[in-house]
Amino acid sequence: MESNGIAGKHGLEGDSDLLFLLTGGDLLKVRSNSWKKTRFYKLQEDCKTVWHESHKPLKSKQTCECLSSPPKFSLDDIEAVRAGRQSEGFQKYTEEQVEGRCFSIIFKGRRKNLDLIASSEEEAKQWVTALEKVISNMRNLNCQQKSEHWIFNCMRKADKNSDSKMSLKELKHFLHQVNVEVDDDYAEMLFEKCDRSKSGYLEGKEIEHFYNLLTTREEIDVIYGQYATTGGQMSSTDLLNFLLKEQREAASVDDALKLIEKYEVDDTAKEKQHMSKDGFLMYLHQAEGMIFNPEHKEVYQDMSKPLNHYFISSSHNTYLMEDQLKGPSSTEAYIRALMKSCRCVELDCWDGSEGEPVIYHGYTLTSKILFKDVIKAIKEYAFKTSEYPVILSLENHCSVEQQKLLAQHMTSILGSALLTTPLGDQMPTNFPSPEDLKGRYLIKGKRLNKLDAFYTAENDVEDDSVSEDDEAAEEEEDKEKEKTKLKLAKELSDIVIYCKSVHFNGFEDARDNRAFYEMSSFKEGKAMKLAEESANAYVRHNVDKLSRTYPAGSRTDSSNYNPVPLWDTGCQIVALNFQTPSKEMDLNQGRFLPNGMSGYILKPAYLRDEASDFDPITLTKGDWLQHKLLHIMVISAQQLPKLNKKKKSIVDPLVRVEIYGVPADKAEKETPNINNNGFNPMWNEQFQFDVYVPELAMVRFVVEDHDSTSQNDLIGQYTLPFTSLQNGYRHVPLLTKNGDIIPSAGLFVHIMALDAQ
C-alpha cells in the first residue's frame, strides 16, 4: 500500500515538525496544585492519534495509569493549541515564571483541556508549532484527499498483522470500519474478484482495484457520461454546457478552462483541456461544487449601514460551559463564542470576596471567574475571526466601589479600542456602521444621563439605579435581594455610549420618548408574544432601535428558544446559549455562515424601512413576497460515521430537509431510511417546497440514524440561508451536533430554485 504513507502523513513526508511529534517526548501534565505528573507523549504512526504513557513501573492496578491501554486522543478532537499560561488551570496552579514553557490543548465539545509544561521554552514552541502544522494540514486536505485518507486509515486498521496484505477476514473488518454491511457471499465474491493472483490475500494493485470498486460513484458516472461527449471525456465546451444547463451558472468558456486547470488530476487530459471523471469528481468536492455559494464566504454585504440594520450573532450567559445552576464558568467559554464570530457577549458582574469583581450566574452554584480575566481573554480573541465590533452586555450587580473597578479594568485592558465617546464632533442622530466601528468594543449597560451630556454643559442624572432588565432582576425570588437598589458609578455610566439599557414601556413610548441609542432587553416569552401579536409594530421598532432578546431564567439546563420568529421581526441581538448544542444553535450558525462569518448580516430592505408594512404572519403584498419553488433531489450520501464505535450496528440513514422562515414557509420532508449502509446510501428522492419570503428563509439538511424503537440519532446536519444556495448538482458538508465539520462525510443533492409562475 504505497499510497498509505502519503495519506497518513498529510503530505508532510520528512518534515522536521512531523518527525518531532513521531519521536515524542516528556511533558509535565498539570491537573491541580498537587497533581503534576510527567507523561511521555507521542504521535502514533497513523499521524492522527496522540497517546501518552506514565513512567511508573507496573506495580498494581492502583498505581498504573491505564498502561494496558494508554490514554489517547485524535488530532480531529483538538479545537486549538494555545501557547503560554492561558488556561484557568495554569493561572491557578502555576507561577508566572513558567509562562514560556506552558501550552494547552483545547478539545472540542466538553472534554477538559490538557495543560502541559515542556522542559524548555524552545521545546514548548516546537510542540505548539508542530501540532498546529499537522492539524492545519489535516484540515486543509481537500475532500477527495480526506476521503482517501479516511479509507487508507481504515485499511491500515484492518491490516491486523501489518503485512500490507489483506485476508478475507481483514477485508470484512475493513468493510465494517467503513460502515458497510455485506453478507458473507458478497464479501467472498468481492474478494475473489480482486484476488487475481489467487493467493488468498490482496496486495498492491489488488488493493487498489478493491479501493476503486468501493469508491465508484454510480450517480456521478451517469452525470459525467451525459456531458462527456469528446472521446469519452469532457472538453471545455462539454464542461461549459454542464455549468450552464445543470449548475445554472452565468459561466463562460474561460470559467470552464479555469476549473480544468485547477482540478484536473490527469496531466494528459489537462494538456488537451479536457476534464476526466476523476477531475470532475474533484471539482464537485470543492467550494465551486458545494451547496454554499463561495462568493458568500467573504464579506459581500454593504457594511456601511447603521449598526441596528444588521442581525448580530449574540450569546447569553457567555461565561457558562454547561448548565446555569451548577455548571462551570470559564474564560474558555468566551474564547469559544468569539472564535465562532459571536459579536455580543454577556457579563454577569457581582462583588467578589477579595475586592475584585467576579462573573458567575447569581444565586446559583456555578463557579466564579475574575472579571479582569474575562476582559483579558476577550481582548486576546475578540477579532481573530471577525474584525467587526464586539458588544459587551453588562448585567451589573456590583457595589459602587467594584463598579469603578469594572470601568477601570475595561479602560486599562481594552485601551483605545474601547469606545468611550460618540464618533464625530456633534450629537449623533443614528448609529455608526459596523465599518466605522471595526476593531472596537461597545458597552451595553445603564447610563446616568443622555448622550447629549457630551456636547452640553447639562449633566442631569435621570436614573441612578442599576438593576438590569435581565433575569436576576425579574425573577420573583430576587425581589427581596433587589430591595436595596444599587447606585450606578459615574465611571461605569460614562463608557456606555450607543447601547444604553432602558426599561421597555411599549412601542409608543419608545418611539416618542426614547433616543435611538436607548435599547431594551426582552425575555423570550415577552419577545415571542410581541412577535405574534404586534409583529409589524415590532418590525418598525427595530428599524429605529436595537433589541436584545434572551432565554427565560426557567431554562436551567441552558436550552434555547427558536430565534427565527425574532429575526423575522427584525430583532438584531437574539441571544442564545452558545454552550448548548441544539437545533437553535444550528440555525444561528447557518444564519451567520455567509458574509465572511463576520457575525453581522444585513437585514432585508423591508426590515430597515421606517414605513415598512411587513408582517411575517399576515404577509400582505410587498417587496418581500418573491414566491420561489424549491426543488430538492436527495441523491446519495458518502461515508456517514458510525454513531457508536463500539456498537456492531451500521447506520440506517434517512435525510430530512427542513425550511425555516416566516410561518408560511415552515415545512419539512424526509426520505425513507436505507438499512445497513452508511458508506454510499442512495435515495434519489424528490421534494418540492414553496418559499414565499426567500430573504428570511433557511434550509436545513438533517441526516439521522433511523431507529424503530426509540428516537432517531443525529448523524450530521447543515444549515444555510436560502439566498446562499447554489443550483445544480451539489455536495452538502455535514456538521456534528457541536457544529464541527465531519471530515469525510457528505450528502449529494440536486437543487433548483425557480420563480413560481
- Of 274, 296, 316, 731, the active-site residue reads 316
Q: Are 58 and 64 in contact (CB under 8 A)?
A: yes
* Residue 41 annotated as lining a ligand binding site: yes
Q: Find cell 457471499 and name the residue.
A: 185
* Residue 317 annotated as lining a ligand binding site: yes
* Residue 59 annotated as lining a ligand binding site: no
CA nearest neighbour of 280 among 198, 221, 340: 221
Instruction: Give, rounded to a whole angstrom, the gap between the first and last alpha carbons of the chain.
Output: 56
CA nearest neighbour of 559 among 312, 316, 393: 316
* Residue 49 annotated as lining a ligand binding site: yes
User: What are 614's three cell numbers?
Assistant: 411587513
* Residue 295 annotated as lining a ligand binding site: no
* Residue 108 annotated as lining a ligand binding site: no
* Residue 444 annotated as lining a ligand binding site: yes
Q: Are 717 and 641 in contact (CB under 8 A)?
A: no
* Residue 567 annotated as lining a ligand binding site: no
* Residue 652 annotated as lining a ligand binding site: yes
* Residue 51 annotated as lining a ligand binding site: yes
Q: What are the φ and ψ backbone dihedral angles of 699, each rounded to 5 degrees?
A: -115, 130
* Residue 676 annotated as lining a ligand binding site: yes
Handedness of CA 62, 63, 69, 70 (dihedral sign): positive
* Residue 651 annotated as lining a ligand binding site: no
* Residue 50 annotated as lining a ligand binding site: yes
DSSP annotation of 728 reads: E
- Other C-beta atoms lying within 10 Å of the C-beta of residue 685: 17
* Cα-only R_g, the chain: 29
* Residue 43 annotated as lining a ligand binding site: yes
* Residue 10 annotated as lining a ligand binding site: no
* Residue 2 annotated as lining a ligand binding site: no
User: What are 294's three cell numbers?
Assistant: 463561495
* Residue 48 annotated as lining a ligand binding site: yes
Residue 361 is among the residues annotated as catalytic for this protein: yes
* Residue 430 annotated as lining a ligand binding site: no
> Which amino acid, 418?
L
Residue 209 is among the residues annotated as catalytic for this protein: no
* Residue 209 annotated as lining a ligand binding site: no
- Of 361, 409, 541, 750, the active-site residue reads 361
CA nearest neighbour of 139 among 48, 257, 69, 227: 48
* Residue 329 annotated as lining a ligand binding site: no
CA nearest neighbour of 724 among 708, 748, 700: 700
* Residue 33 annotated as lining a ligand binding site: yes
* Residue 29 annotated as lining a ligand binding site: yes
CA distances (Å), origin 411, targets 496, 498, 510, 611: 12, 16, 31, 40
* Residue 134 annotated as lining a ligand binding site: no
Q: Are 22 and 43 in contact (CB under 8 A)?
A: yes
Quickly list DSSP for 150-161.
Answer: HHHHHHHHH-TT
Spell out the long-range contacts of 322-326 with Cβ–Cβ below 8 A and sequence spacing 24 or more.
322/110, 322/558, 322/579, 323/556, 323/557, 323/558, 324/361, 324/364, 324/366, 324/555, 324/556, 324/557, 324/558, 325/361, 325/364, 325/365, 325/366, 325/556, 326/364, 326/365, 326/366
Q: Are 386 and 598 in contact (CB under 8 A)?
A: yes
* Residue 52 annotated as lining a ligand binding site: yes
* Residue 241 annotated as lining a ligand binding site: no
The annotation places the binding site for Ca(2+) at 317, 346, 348, 395, 650, 652, 676, 705, 707
The annotation places the binding site at 29-56, 317, 346, 348, 395, 444, 446, 521, 548, 650, 652, 676, 705, 707
The annotation places the binding site for substrate at 29-56, 444, 446, 521, 548
Instruction: List the catalytic residues.
Output: 316, 361
